Structure 1
Amino acid sequence: MPSSSTPTPSTGPLQGLKVVEMGQLIAGPFAAKTLGDLGADVIKIEPPEGGDPLRQWRLIQDGTSVWWQVQSRNKRSVAIDLRQPEGQALARELVDQADILVENFRPGTLEGWGMDYATLSATNPGLILLRISGYGQTGPYRDKPGFGVIGEAMGGLRHLTGEPGRVPVRCGVSIGDTLASLHGVIGILAALNHRHATGQGQVIDVALHEAVFNVMESLLPEYSAFGAVREPAGSALPGIAPSNAYRCRDGQVLVAGNGDSIFRRLMTAIGRTDLAERPDLATNSGRVASVAEVDAAIEAWTQQRTVSEVLELLDEAKVPVGRIYTARDIAEDPHYRAREMILTQHTRDGHVVEVPGIVPKLSLTPGAVRQAAPHLGEDTEAVLRELGRSPAEVAALRARGLIR
């Protein structure tokens, strides 16, 4: 993979699309990263001093987060001071040539820079604008600050994560931001299809809590129909049985035996044909009523065996089962390698780091990592030259502190 700032030619399905990213941290940048993985030319606008704060998040190698190597691959970095009117004018020029603008600022920020959609679309009517915010662009909460963790709480997810009677826990990653990003990408692809038919762009408004709420399955209809408030259940999946984590001699496994025929195979494999043949356990509703008895029978069997033994025996019985993976497990798993879900990426500083592969996988126009994550402002001059700025004009902008 090349380590220069010039990307290799794109063959992805979004080849030819130009994206301007005006966001930071996770929600907006993850959406733009996904578009870049699929072939779009992504120009990321960063503040000249410090850049995107994600550059300094979590574990740092030679002054830069290794997370940055994933989040900002397939992007070009342009450092522009958007606090200054002339910097805002430069950004508008970039947006004027773009197909898509991605931003995740608090509502009103773009408008304060003179970049409301009416103004932008007046000169670029096909522009698609993705706006990700805590609470959306409208409504009584629109002006409140919101991060992914708050969206997870308001969306209903955080209440369910944890053990009954204990403080809820987070899932370990910024799932609220990522869900909002993926919903934003879905909106972009739908808007592109509409633009193909009409030539007209539009605004996509994604709120963090709404993206979380959208994946909460039966949470609301159960309350609406029965007044039932779903509560945390630890590792179990309430209303579906058996589906839980079970202790082994040297760890834990997850077993999903909730299909009717799968349940019979599971009970036979653990030597409980009596449960396999019980009429009241033949369907999910009966198993839910006796879930404590069923879970106890499974764990009595798993506790006598190692994780590897349980995996082997239940694989033979064609029962869905899996170990609980750590980062080491993922890195050493042959299936990840065979599916190209672990890629070797060369950073701009000469390091080699393994990163997640491309999702989704397309048969004819697969995505690719075409270039490494950029240094701050590394592509500023090249992008401004594409706008028609001369070397002297670029030097003057740099001298005035407008760009880096």
Structure 2
Amino acid sequence: MTNLTAKNAGPLAGIKVLELGTLIAGPFCSRMLGEFGAEVIKVESPDGGDPLRQWRVLKDGTSLWWSVQARNKKCITLNMKSPQGQAIARQLALDADIIIENYRPGVLEKWQLGYDDLKAINPAAIMVRLSGYGQTGPMKDMPGFGAIAESMGGLRYVSGHPDRPPVRVGISIGDSVAAMHGVIGAMMALRHRDVTGGRWNGKPSAECVAGQGQMVDVALYESVFNLMESLVPEFDHAGVVRERTGGALPGIVPSNTYTTGDGENIVIAGNGDAIFHRLMLAIGRADMANDQQLARNDGRVPRTAEIDAAIQTWCSTQNIDTALQILALADVPVGKIYSVRDMMDDPQFVARDMFEQHAFADGTPVKLPAISPKLSLTPGQTLWLGPKLGQHNAEVLQSLGYSQAEIAQMQLEKII
């Protein structure tokens, strides 16, 4: 594994993150910060830890997903329902730059760990709160998962074929999009804190001018809604409700999925005016390439079915490799639909170093997805895989001033 050096410590080196979250949205948010140098301390329940540890495909009882989602994190256990566990969490918050949580609204307030509680002891803290419906509104107390956010935010309604029920994307995209909104919000809040002062060092305000911390309120459904392009003005101004259209992108022509003669599927995006002209020439339809009505997108939209039929007819006469080659030579955006098997040996993925080679504790090798985005001077890196439950208890608690005997006693009392 790579070791941190002063030269490549990451753009967030020196930033301390406290993660009070489970599963996807909160942990993915802190994961991205940790990948770029932040010190992340993740708090888990002593009773089994984050449920994601047991999700999907397991190795030796622990999820392979965990190795990615918790990489670079220091994991400690705390019984957050106990007064002492809450007190330790407050100690950790005292020195945190960013606090990330995805409990249901009101839970942290019940434990005296809400934003107002933590702001009182660390006025420069940035608290990223991820929840289904946000911290306000009539639905704030309802449980909210990514699947529900995708539905309420509009994504599920437009996903799938018009004659079938809506479908989901094959990943938890609602949670992940919310996590990215959390990262963006945290970075903007850090910038604001920088220009209003600086980080809090626990001293009285007369000795330290703290920058302004703030709360970043991320609702999962709003994060999905934020991706929905022109949905609102199209309805408000023109009464248009965007519907499910399968592999096509309505109003942007041609952009669809087509089947080749050997039964493979490819995506062709020939919707630029010049691209459309090259595409039609490449498939032997000079008549359509030179049809002035089809020269612009607004003229192509009424003839979408005709255009799609012409492209599909041509694709049916080609195998996938030939189709990809011909269209690439014509400078037409085209691609096959990749499975993970396709990705692993693909020259583009390999050239961009999109896989990292690591090893589990027992020496078993494993590949992880590399870190994005790619920064030229301070790239992200993986320092270690997701830790064991409570692996960093002693290190973190000793840094707070607890003795080995006190840590052992807390373990006996099931506080950690």
Same fold (TM over 0.5): yes
Q: 1:49 to 1:8 in 2, by over 3 A?
A: farther
Note if contact 1:134-1:145 (Cα within 8 Å) is conserved in structure 2. Answer: yes
- Partner of 1:177 in structure 2? 175
Give the partner amino acid of 2:290.
Answer: E
Q: Distance in 1 between matches of 2:125 and 2:363?
A: 37
How far is the alpha carbon of 1:349 from its aligned partner?
4.1
The residue correspondences of 1:355-374 to structure 2 (distance < 5 A) are 355-374=368-387
- Partner of 1:76 in structure 2? 74
The residue correspondences of 1:183-262 to structure 2 (distance < 5 A) are 183-198=181-196, 199-250=211-262, 251-262=264-275
Give the partner amino acid of 2:368.
Answer: V
- Partner of 1:22 in structure 2? 20
Q: Distance in 2 between matches of 1:210 and 1:295?
A: 34
Tell me which moved more, 110-119 or 169-178: 110-119
How far is the alpha carbon of 1:122 from its aligned partner?
1.4
The residue correspondences of 1:152-163 to structure 2 (distance < 5 A) are 152-163=150-161
- Partner of 1:339 in structure 2? 352
How far is the alpha carbon of 1:338 from its aligned partner?
1.2
Instruction: Give per-residue Cα distances to partners, 1:66-114, cap 9 Å, x unaligned.
Output: 0111111010110111111111111111111111110001000110111
How far is the alpha carbon of 1:348 from its aligned partner?
3.2
Instruction: Give per-residue Cα distances to partners, 1:130-166, cap 9 Å, x unaligned.
Output: 0000000000110111100000000000000010021
Q: SS of 2:167's equivalent?
A: coil
- Partner of 2:115 in structure 1? 117
- Partner of 2:130 in structure 1? 132
Give the partner amino acid of 1:233.
Answer: T
Note if contact 1:255-1:322 (Cα within 8 Å) is conserved in structure 2. Answer: yes
Note if contact 1:348-1:374 (Cα within 8 Å) is conserved in structure 2. Answer: no
Q: Distance in 1 between matches of 2:241 and 2:94?
A: 48
Tell me which moved more, 117-126 or 192-201: 117-126
- Partner of 2:366 in structure 1? 353
Q: Distance in 1 between matches of 2:163 and 2:265?
A: 22
How far is the alpha carbon of 1:347 from its aligned partner?
2.4
TM-score for the superposition, normalised by structure 2 = 0.94
2:316 counterpart of 1:318: no
Instruction: Give per-residue Cα distances to partners, 1:7-27, cap 9 Å, x unaligned.
Output: 745611101111011100000
Instruction: Give per-residue Cα distances to partners, 1:282-309, cap 9 Å, x unaligned.
Output: 0001111101000000010111111111
Q: Structure 1 residue aligned with 2:321, among 282, 292, 308?
A: 308
Q: SS of 1:290's equivalent?
A: helix
- Partner of 1:287 in structure 2? 300
Q: SS of 1:322's equivalent?
A: strand
- Partner of 1:85 in structure 2? 83
How far is the alpha carbon of 1:350 from its aligned partner?
2.9
Note if contact 1:27-1:178 (Cα within 8 Å) is conserved in structure 2. Answer: yes
Instruction: Give per-residue Cα distances to partners, 1:317-353, cap 9 Å, x unaligned.
Output: 0000000000100111121111111111222343222
Note if contact 1:12-1:38 (Cα within 8 Å) is conserved in structure 2. Answer: yes
Give the partner amino acid of 1:33.
Answer: R
Q: Structure 2 residue aligned with 1:35, among 33, 36, 46?
A: 33
Q: Structure 1 residue aligned with 2:399, among 386, 389, 400?
A: 386
Tell me which moved more, 351-360 or 207-216: 351-360
Q: Distance in 1 between matches of 2:362 and 2:271?
A: 49
Q: 1:349 to 1:137 in 2, by over 3 A?
A: farther
Q: SS of 1:119's equivalent?
A: helix
% identical aligned pairs: 54
Note if contact 1:348-1:373 (Cα within 8 Å) is conserved in structure 2. Answer: no
Q: SS of 1:130's equivalent?
A: strand
Q: Cα RMSD over matched residues?
A: 1.0
Q: Structure 2 residue aligned with 1:108, among 106, 109, 126?
A: 106
Q: How many residues align?
A: 399
Q: Structure 1 residue aligned with 2:414, among 397, 401, 404?
A: 401
- Partner of 2:288 in structure 1? 275
Give the partner amino acid of 2:342.
Answer: D
Note if contact 1:68-1:373 (Cα within 8 Å) is conserved in structure 2. Answer: yes
Q: SS of 1:233's equivalent?
A: coil
Q: Distance in 2 between matches of 1:238 and 1:47?
A: 47
Give the partner amino acid of 1:307.
Answer: I
Q: 1:8 to 1:364 in 2, by over 3 A?
A: closer
The structure whose RCO (Cα within 8 Å, separation 6+) is larger is 1
Q: SS of 1:132's equivalent?
A: strand
Note if contact 1:107-1:143 (Cα within 8 Å) is conserved in structure 2. Answer: yes
Give the partner amino acid of 1:399.
Answer: L
Note if contact 1:8-1:371 (Cα within 8 Å) is conserved in structure 2. Answer: no
How far is the alpha carbon of 1:395 from its aligned partner?
1.2
Give the partner amino acid of 1:93.
Answer: Q
Q: Distance in 2 between matches of 1:118 and 1:206?
A: 17
Q: Distance in 1 between matches of 2:174 and 2:237?
A: 27
TM-score for the superposition, normalised by structure 1 = 0.97
Q: Distance in 2 between matches of 1:58 and 1:161?
A: 24
- Partner of 1:58 in structure 2? 56
